[in-house]
Amino acid sequence: MDKVLLITGGSRGIGKATCLYFLEKGYRVINLSRNNLALEGVTQFYIDLSFPDSIHQQKELLLSELKDAEKIVLVHCAASHNKNNILDIVQQELVKSLAINIVSPTVLTQIISSIMPAGSSIIYLGSSLSEKALPNTYSYSTNKHAVIGMMRATCQDLSGTGIHTVCVCPGFTDTEMLRHHINNNPNALFAITQKVSFKRLITPSEIAETLFFCSKTPAINGSVIHANLGQVET
Ligand SMILES: NC(=O)c1ccc[n+]([C@@H]2O[C@H](COP(=O)([O-])OP(=O)(O)OC[C@H]3O[C@@H](n4cnc5c(N)ncnc54)[C@H](OP(=O)(O)O)[C@@H]3O)[C@@H](O)[C@H]2O)c1
């Protein structure tokens, strides 16, 4: 059976771990990102998601890569995470973040959903900040809340197709995004782990395993799944 993982943001972090996990499970992988994921079994599309038109430009090539697929798992993993707040964010920065996190996933879903066989799935990466906000996370929190809406609306619109949708919300996961966000500061890292009931970061492969579970579990269609090792509430 020709099974394909089509993922955005597979070049590093959670996305790369997800590509490795699905490859192990016998999937072909197609990755969309600006940097290459140089792994056997991976077809790379160089796409900057801040320009949604670039997906349209590669549409025919993308569809030809998928024409024999009997199952497609589409994972919207890429995201941008800039520090900003309502008082200082400039319009262009917000528009760019919406292009990466909302508009491009919409375009990609529109193009792919029409050829997805029943049994396929569309999985979105949310965040703890999909359901709450912290100071100075204006564009990220706004986008991640919208990701849940996008997943739920897609679930409604694809009713009857046999395609299921899920939004997975990771907690603190050990990737470049997290380390960059805290400037790799060991004190900040320690403080973060104290907010996790297991007192450690999540590994990217743990999230990959969760994504794989979601891809083969249609019963959770339309759900928001938290994968955060238990956050300590204070
Ligand atoms: N790490 C965490 O603690 C955490 C927590 C909650 C949610 N998440 C979510 O999990 C997902 C993966 O995060 P991560 O931690 O693995 O992040 P990461 O290590 O920073 O990786 C981000 C990925 O997004 C891609 N990307 C970013 N901007 C792009 C653009 N303009 N065009 C195309 N691709 C772009 C990057 O690829 P290129 O640079 O090659 O383009 C990269 O592969 C994100 O949706 C994030 O919000 C992460």
Q: Is pLDDT above 80 for 117?
A: yes
Asked if the model's pLDDT at residue 224 lies above 90, the reply is yes
Q: Is the pLDDT of residue 234 over 80?
A: no
Q: How far is the CA of 13 from the centre of ligand 1 (A)?
A: 7
Q: Quote the DSSP letter at residue 35.
A: S
Residues with CB under 6 A from ligand 1: 8-9, 11-15, 33-35, 47-50, 77-81, 100, 125, 127, 170, 172-173, 175-178
Number of domains in the chain: 1
Residue 112 inside a domain? The answer is yes
Two structure tokens written together for 101: 């996190």
Whether 25 is in a domain gets the answer yes
CATH number of the CATH domain containing 65: 3.40.50.720
Task: List the domain range (segments joined by +) for residue 213.
Answer: 2-172+203-227
Span 96-115, pLDDT tens digits: 999 999 999 999 999 999 99
Which of 6, 12, 128 is the best mutation target for the ligand 1 pocket, counting ligand atoms within 8 Å of the beta carbon and taking the most? 12
Residue whose entry in the numeric block shows the structure tokens 């995470």: 81
**What ligand 1 atom has the least distance to the C-alpha of 174?**
1
> What confidence category does residue 152 fall into, taking pLDDT thresholds of 50, 70 and 90?
very high
Closest CA to 78 of 55, 97, 109, 100: 100
The per-residue pLDDT of the chain, averaged, comes to: 97
How far, in Å, is the centroid of ligand 1 from the Cα of 227? 16
Quote the ligand 1 centre to 214 CA distance (angstroms).
19
Q: Tell me what the mean pLDDT of segment 186-207 comes to.
A: 96
Is 96 inside a domain boundary? yes
Tell me what pLDDT residue 233 has.
85
